[in-house]
Structure 1
Amino acid sequence: MRVYLPSTLPGLSQVVASGRLGPAPLVGYAVTPALIEWYVSGDTEELEYVALTEAARASLRMLAADRADGVTVPARRVVVAAEVPDRAVSVSADLAERGKVRVNEPVTLAVMASVHVDEEAAEPDIEAAISALPAADRGDEDARFTVDGADAHELLWYATQEIQYLIR
C-alpha cells in the first residue's frame, strides 16, 4: 500500500542517520475505503494526491509542535511516500480524517518511493500558517484562510537518493 508519512527536515536527517522512519507506530495517509467513498468521482491518482495533501497538513502540525517545544526547524513541509506491506497498515476509524492510517512497523529507506518537500520560496507562507494554526483551531476564519494558504504550494518531488541534499 502506498502510504504518505508526514515528517520534517530534521526527521529526514534521522532517516539518513538510521536508515528508517520510526519508531512505529507512525501516522500516515493513504487511499482508504473511507476516502474512496467520500471522494466518489476521483481516480487513483487524484485520491493519492488527496492523501499526500492530508500528510502535508499533518507535517504542518508537526512543525508547529516542534516550534512549541522550542525546536528550531525550517518552515518546510515534508512528506515521505512509501510502499508499505498491507499487513503493516491499520486503517483509522476517524471519519474526520478519512485517509488516516497507522503504520505498525518502522518504514525503512528501502521501501521509500519518494520525498515531497516545500521549496524555499514557500517558507514565508508556511511560517504564517504555523503561526495561524492555534487561532484556526479555535475557529478564526482569517486564520483558517492563512493555514489553507499553505496548500497553495505544491510540494516538490525528490528521489530517495536526493534526501542527503535536502538536509544540508
Structure 2
Amino acid sequence: MRVYLPATFNSLTELNESGVIHARSGWAFAVTDALREFYTSGDEEELSDVAFDQAALASLRLLAVGDVEKFPHRRVVVSADVDDAHVTPVPDNGESVVRLEPAAVELDDVAAIHVDVPDAEEATAKAVTAIDAADLGDEDAELTVGDAQDNWLAFYDPSELPVLIELL
C-alpha cells in the first residue's frame, strides 16, 4: 500500500544517514476505505492526491512545532510502499489517517520524496505561524494555510536523496 509520511528536512537527513525514516508517532496517510466512502466520486489517483495533501498539511504542523534545524519553511512528504499488514486505518482521526506498525520505513521502500520549492518558502512560513489559528476556525488563517497548500512540492527519486541533502 502506498503511504504518505509527513516529514521535515531533518527526517530526510535521518533517512540519508540511517536508511530509515520513522513515521512520527506511527502516523501516515493513505487511500483508505473511509476515504473512498467520504468521496463519492474520483478515481484512485484523485484519492491519492487527497491523502498526499493531508500529509503535506501534517508536515506543515511538524514545522509549526519547531522540530526543524534546517529549512524550517519547507514541507516534506515521503511516499513509500509498505506491506498492507503494517497499515491500520484510524478513521476517527480523518479518513486518510493510518498507523504504521512498525513506524520505521526503509529507504528501499521509499517511492518518492517531495519537498517544497524555494519559491514556496514565503507562503509556508506564513502558514507555519497561522496553522493553530486555522485549526480554531480563523478564516484569514485558513486562507493563509490554503495558500501554502496550493504550492506544489518538487518530486525527487529516492536515489537522488544524497544529492538533495548535499545541494540543500
The equivalent of 2:82 in structure 1 is: 84
The equivalent of 1:130 in structure 2 is: 128
CA distance in 2, matches of 1:80, 1:24: 12
The equivalent of 1:39 in structure 2 is: 39
CA deviation string 1:108-161 (max 9, x = no partner): 001110011110110000000001112222221101110111111011111001
CA deviation string 1:26-65 (max 9, x = no partner): 2110000010011111101111111110000000000111
Matches for 1:14-93 after TM superposition, within 5 Å: 14-22=14-22, 26-66=26-66, 71-74=68-71, 75-93=73-91
Letter in 1 for 2:132: P
**Could you tell me whether the CA contact under 8 Å between 1:10 and 1:167 is conserved in 2?**
no
Instruction: State the SS of the aligned residue for 1:72.
Output: coil
CA distance in 2, matches of 1:164, 1:132: 32
CA distance in 2, matches of 1:37, 1:108: 31
* RMSD (CA atoms): 1.5
Shift of 1:23: 6.7
CA distance in 1, matches of 2:106, 2:83: 12
The equivalent of 2:159 in structure 1 is: 161
**Could you tell me whether the CA contact under 8 Å between 2:113 and 2:155 is conserved in 1?**
yes
What runs of 5+ residues in structure 1 fail to find an aligned partner? Answer: none
**Could you tell me whether the CA contact under 8 Å between 2:6 and 2:78 is conserved in 1?**
yes
**Could you tell me whether the CA contact under 8 Å between 2:5 and 2:23 is conserved in 1?**
no
For residues 79 and 92 of structure 1, do their structure 2 counterparts lie closer, same or farther at Cα, with a shift above 3 Å needed?
Answer: same
How high is the TM-score relative to the length of structure 1?
A: 0.92
How high is the TM-score relative to the length of structure 2?
A: 0.92
Percent of aligned positions with the same letter in both sequences? 44
Farther off after superposition, 136-145 or 152-161: 136-145
For residues 7 and 23 of structure 1, do their structure 2 counterparts lie closer, same or farther at Cα, with a shift above 3 Å needed?
Answer: closer
**Partner residue of 1:117 out of 112, 115, 118:** 115
CA deviation string 1:78-108 (max 9, x = no partner): 00000100111111031x5100001111100
For residues 124 and 24 of structure 1, do their structure 2 counterparts lie closer, same or farther at Cα, with a shift above 3 Å needed?
Answer: closer
CA distance in 1, matches of 2:115, 2:131: 20
Aligned length, in residue pairs: 164
Letter in 1 for 2:11: G
Instruction: State the SS of the aligned residue for 1:40.
Output: coil
**Could you tell me whether the CA contact under 8 Å between 2:30 and 2:96 is conserved in 1?**
yes
**Could you tell me whether the CA contact under 8 Å between 1:117 and 1:156 is conserved in 2?**
yes
